[in-house]
Amino acid sequence: MKLVDRCSLRAKLVLIVLLTCTVVLLLNGVLFAFYDLAQFRREKARELEVLGRVLAGHSVDLMVFQDEQAATELLEGVRSFPAVQIAALYTADGRLFAWYLSGVSPTELPAQLPTSGDSWETVHHVEPMRWEGQTQGYVYLQASLLGWRTRMKRYASVVGSVMLLSLGISMILVALLQRRITRPLERLQRAARSVAETHDYSVRVPVEGPVELRELAATFNEMLTRVQEHQAVLVAAKEAAEEMARLKSTFLANMNHEIRTPLAGILGYAQILEEELDDPMYREMAQTIKQSGQRLLDTLDALLYMACLEAGTVHVRHQDLDVVAATRAVVDELAPLARDKKLKLTVQSSEPTLIACVDEGLWERLVKNLVHNAIKFTEEGGVTVLLEGDAETVQLQVADTGIGIPEELQSVIFEEFKQASSGLSRDYEGSGLGLTIVQRIVRLLNGQIYVESQPGIGSIFTVIIPRHRSDAAAPHATTNGMSQHQQV
């Protein structure tokens, strides 16, 4: 069957027709052979019946007078019937009286009158001999059916000739008729291959052939039409997306300049006012201006950096870095924020120095976002930064005693612009991009991040990154419009 499956449709059609014709002809031949055998047997049985009556009529007086020699001479006359193998006379009590044999050995001559029936190779007949109403004996005849074999050989030669002629005619008819089936299918196959290779969906196939093939061709053409329409929609959407990306890049570049420049002036003058004003109320106003401007600048930096991450324009520069020293430097920058909230901020390391091949800017931003996030959501207690390393990885843990995160929201916090508390009534300020940026950075460093948290107890963020640079580095390019060392 596997060989048939690998054949073409044309070959399968030819094979089906040949097999069908062959089976039908063979079946007809076998049925006719059995029918002819039955007819041949009936003819032989009638011949033996007639012959038996004749012999019975001529031998009954010989049986009465027990003239064995004359009976034998009478049976010799059966020689003119080549099919008769045994002709014998039996007495009334079944004893053998006289016989004639042709083509059989004497051992096959029954000593007693046989009572068994016919076989596949022979046919038998027993004719009683009556004299004055009494049975004087029996005539036993056995004829061979071997003549039927010779007859079947001639018949087989005729059947073989007829079969070859029929198969030849069938082949011619199949060759003429299969074009109506195979030609549309071949055109459909060529069209499908052309579409797969060239992606040209304007190809169409003619609707021809039987009803099923016409429906198939029409459906195929309709499918290509719809694909062509969808392709046009996708091309238009792709062009629109590219235009939106270009406008987005232009917008971000303009915002980077148009917002950052005035913010720098606002923050600078707010710093001057804070230093120069003597009135505590005005100094507090200047501090509010400074804090608000810094918050706006941090949000702008987060948005711009997130846009760079999405565009894939953040370049990863792998270099040997002492992550312990780099982490302590970042934590020292955030120490004033922790002190303002009266929180204990500590850094612990399993080794004084842990060297890893990472991007320094990405590592600093990763640590700062996690620690800043922990400080923001912690009101009492402290924040602990733990560093551990082995031969293959470096592990960073940031644990806090803050508000914690419900289990159902632990997957939401890594989505853009989402926090555990959201909406206008949320308790903590922020753009909701800090942890999203952390997750993107971890991916750039080929690492993994996990979170464990319980509401009211605190949270533990664990980051595991490879200690050595892997061959499968993340795609990187230069940043567009901002430095990767700008902090959120």
Q: Which of 57, 56, 65 is nearest to 87 (CA)?
A: 56
Q: Give Cα 147 to chain centroid, integer Å.
A: 63
Q: Using 50, 70 and 90 to split pLDDT, how confident is the model at 325?
A: very high
Look at residue 150 in the predicted model and tell me its pLDDT: 76
Counting residues of the chain whose pLDDT is more than 70, the rounded percentage is 85
Interval 158-182 mean pLDDT: 77
User: Are 5 and 84 contacting, i.e. CB atoms less than 8 angstroms apart?
Assistant: no
pLDDT tens-place string over residues 32-46: 878 877 888 888 889
Burial 69-90 (b: 16+ CB within 10 A, else e): eebeebbeebeeeebbbbbbbb
Pairing of the two strands 344-349 and 382-389: parallel
Q: Using 50, 70 and 90 to split pLDDT, how confident is the model at 474?
A: very low
pLDDT tens-place string over residues 95-154: 888 889 888 888 888 888 887 666 777 888 898 988 888 888 999 988 888 777 777 777
Roughly what angle, to the nearest 10 degrees, separates helices 9-64 and 179-198? 150
Q: Which of 46, 204, 206 is nearest to 125 (CA)?
A: 46
Highest mean pLDDT among 133-147, 182-196, 302-316, 454-468: 454-468
May I ask the CATH architecture of the domain 313-466? Answer: 2-Layer Sandwich (3.30)
Look at residue 256 in the predicted model and tell me its pLDDT: 67
Coil, strand or helix at 381: coil
Fold for the domain defined by 202-311: Helix Hairpins (1.10.287)
**In the chain, which segments carry CATH 1.10.287?**
202-311
Q: How far is the CA of 356 from the CAs of 315, 327, 419, 447, 469, in angstroms?
A: 18, 12, 32, 13, 8
Interval 289-298 mean pLDDT: 79
Q: Which of 319, 344, 466, 455 is nearest to 396 (CA)?
A: 466
Interval 214-220 mean pLDDT: 86
Q: Which of 439, 398, 448, 383 is nearest to 415 (CA)?
A: 439
- 3-state helix, strand, coil split of the chain in percent (to 5) is 55, 15, 25
Q: Which of 260, 297, 246, 286 is nearest to 480 (CA)?
A: 246
CATH number of the structural domain 2-174: 3.30.450.20
* CA separation for the pair 425, 359 (Å, rounded): 38
Q: Which of 77-91, 251-265, 269-283, 341-355 has the lowest mean pLDDT?
A: 251-265
User: Are 64 and 131 contacting, i.e. CB atoms less than 8 angstroms apart?
Assistant: yes
Look at residue 263 in the predicted model and tell me its pLDDT: 77
Interval 223-236 mean pLDDT: 88
Q: Using 50, 70 and 90 to split pLDDT, how confident is the model at 383?
A: very high
Three-state secondary structure string covering 5-69:
HCCCHHHHHHHHHHHHHHHHHHHHHHHHHHHHHHHHHHHHHHHHHHHHHHHHHHHHHHHHCCCHH
Interval 66-84 mean pLDDT: 86
pLDDT tens-place string over residues 411-461: 777 775 555 554 333 455 555 677 888 888 888 888 899 889 888 889 999
Look at residue 462 in the predicted model and tell me its pLDDT: 93
**In the chain, which segments carry CATH 3.30.450.20?**
2-174
Look at residue 194 in the predicted model and tell me its pLDDT: 86
The model carries a pTM of: 0.46
Q: Using 50, 70 and 90 to split pLDDT, how confident is the model at 172?
A: confident
Q: Which of 393, 328, 414 is nearest to 367 (CA)?
A: 328
Indicate the DSSP class of residue 146: T
| Better pLDDT: 396 or 473 | 396
The residue type found at 90 is: Y
Coil, strand or helix at 308: helix
**In the chain, which segments carry CATH 3.30.565.10?**
313-466
Q: Which of 4-8, 85-89, 126-130, 206-210 has the lowest mean pLDDT?
A: 4-8
pLDDT tens-place string over residues 252-262: 667 666 777 78
DSSP string, 270-293: HHHHHHH---HHHHHHHHHHHHHH
* CA separation for the pair 437, 310 (Å, rounded): 10
* φ, ψ at 242 (rounded to 5°): -65, -40
Q: Which of 371, 383, 409 is nearest to 488 (CA)?
A: 371
Residue 56 has pLDDT above 60, yes or no: yes
